[in-house]
Structure 1
């Protein structure tokens, strides 16, 4: 009797007995870190990334039968994740730190066309962050990894919101130049 229950539950969820669930889980787990990094490049806040990853995984599973070739899973997952990021961005459109949709699409396309660049970019960015003075590195991490709002940072640092935006803009440009130089060499 215990054998029938899982099959019945699986069938209610739309899982075929052919091993689609197992195949999906293997593919998803094999590529989850790459996919998470991809989403993190488009959304700096970890909580946002978690939410988009959750939404993307549901969509990926619900459309898994559309995947024709397992070797194309990550490219397919990038497309789904990009759409989920765009949908999430529409919900969060009031936040000034979110990237322009056209820029977001460009970044997503570049990353999805060459997955190796993701690893190279991640290493270069990590090295460039390490080169920043501690105070600047902390500001970048607090803003983009911890998801603090600029107004909160300004209050904590006893600075104007505008000065924080200017500082972050300069640091982004500095990191961008450093990453480009690192990737070029």
Structure 2
């Protein structure tokens, strides 16, 4: 039984790690005080772990976690109801929906980025790999590739522009 609990906790932690930036952004969009944000985020993390057994793995995790965050933010707002600048429940719901849509768009963009990276040729792939996988600066890449630092920087800028355009094209194609 102990191993089963550990695996559930491990899965909850893995999901939470990926969802935490989106949940944190949602909380920050509603809760102004940074100390209160940290408290609400911590309450959400605890609630996510405690209720993970109710999560349906066939549905996306981030909207589920944002649903928990909405309830925690609602509790926080009710405690702060005397503050005239507090959002009402409808405004919080609208923010949650908008954040979920933004998270989905970013997820699709990452999928498109993988496709676009796969279409790069040998030299372009090597430059991108050295810069972003190996975290090398243009001067170090120049030494590795017999290029000048300036030409590496320009090539990387052209590659970023190419990838951005590729992602935008794929996004347009997917929305049609």
TM-score by length of 2: 0.53
Distance in 2, Cα, partners of 1:70 & 1:48: 32
Which of structures 1 and 2 has the larger relative contact order (alpha carbons within 8 angstroms, sep 6+)? 1
Any runs of at least 4 consecutive aligned residues in structure 1 with deviations exceeding 2 A, and if so which? Answer: 15-18, 116-119
Query: How far off is 1:55 after superposition?
Result: 1.0
Distance in 2, Cα, partners of 1:99 & 1:117: 25
1:43 match: 31
Distance in 1, Cα, partners of 2:20 & 2:58: 14
With over 3 angstroms needed to count, the CA separation of the structure-2 counterparts of 1:61 and 1:70, relative to structure 1, is farther
RMSD: 2.5
Gaps of 5+ in 2: 108-176
1:84 match: 72
1:34 match: 22
Query: How far off is 1:112 after superposition?
Result: 2.1
1:100 match: 88
1:109 match: 97
Report Cα offsets for 1:41-80 as digits up to 9, x if no partner: 1212211211111111111111101112176111100100
TM-score by length of 1: 0.51
> Who wins on radius of gyration, i.e. which is larger?
2
2:10 match: 22
Gaps of 5+ in 1: 1-6, 120-185
- Of the candidates 53, 65, 87, which is equivalent to residue 53 of structure 2? 65
Query: How far off is 1:21 after superposition?
Result: 1.1
Instruction: Verify the 8 A CA contact 1:24 1:61 in the aligned structure 2.
Output: yes
With over 3 angstroms needed to count, the CA separation of the structure-2 counterparts of 1:19 and 1:112, relative to structure 1, is same
